[in-house]
Chain A
């Protein structure tokens, strides 16, 4: 079978891009290899680890389970994009302060997911945070420090 190609147009981190790629390319391969944004990581490529989390039209999704072709016409934000907007700069600082990362492989995905949780602007228990973050694996930290960081930023943002 020959390689079928498709031209996709989308906005990635605020910039319009247009590329012709094999139809089977998933979104994170597209972003990493065609656009050079290497912040989104690939751990498992079958939806289990969450390292590939990106935001598509406002929702966090698994970038390894979405074809780039499906994101045609969409607004895509990666860790680079939400770092630039400053949306989670407080959380990023807190991750450093609390040692919520060691090797850092899971961190972009953790931050993308936590950003969606914090955007809810509601009171939440540590159990709520753990449940929300349950789809993101970390093989280093043991999660405690990650929950600490998210909890303190949520409290700070709610003015506590």
Chain B
């Protein structure tokens, strides 16, 4: 192998470096999780298992569950909103329509997370765009709270996740053998039936991988729930932050991080299993 690719080893150096540093950091997190917390000090004490027993409290289960639910909801709504956009992106007959959609879909990737989150605060606030508009339309007469609610957090997270979702879905949609859709129509299927019985199933691998990626990504969301949730909506990263940088309980923050990591890995593995079976079934020879 290396003889055929003389640069192979050199090319691996950066990746190996990153991996080593990351592994070292993870090792430290692991180490901290077994060390005693000394209140009022950044230093830690000796070996203990107490950090792990401390997590066995309803509040942390609720945060974990909340994180799951918010991530799931984000992935779900991002999927729902992205699919039509991806579809139009791939299938639009006119080039300019495609170009406009690409720009609209992708540019959010290039604005920073904080900037985007602040924009959402302006939009969702009690005097924000949404409330003002709804009020002037007479739909509501008092501002409805969106800021500092789960709904608000999910809205911002969905928008944050959509570019990635759109790219993944568009890839899947562009890889469909369109003759399959033509064949279905030819056999008498209405456009509606073709979409639900052929197009959607054929893009299912893309749908699942988009869902999994956004889900895992949102599991580690921090600044969006921090700013839009304003302490009222807590995801696991926010609790890690509270423990680590408000209470300076680094050992417990480490334990929470590990829990979050394994929760994410576990759900990823589960979904991977699902997709693997699906892809195996869908593979054409």
A joins B in a complex: no
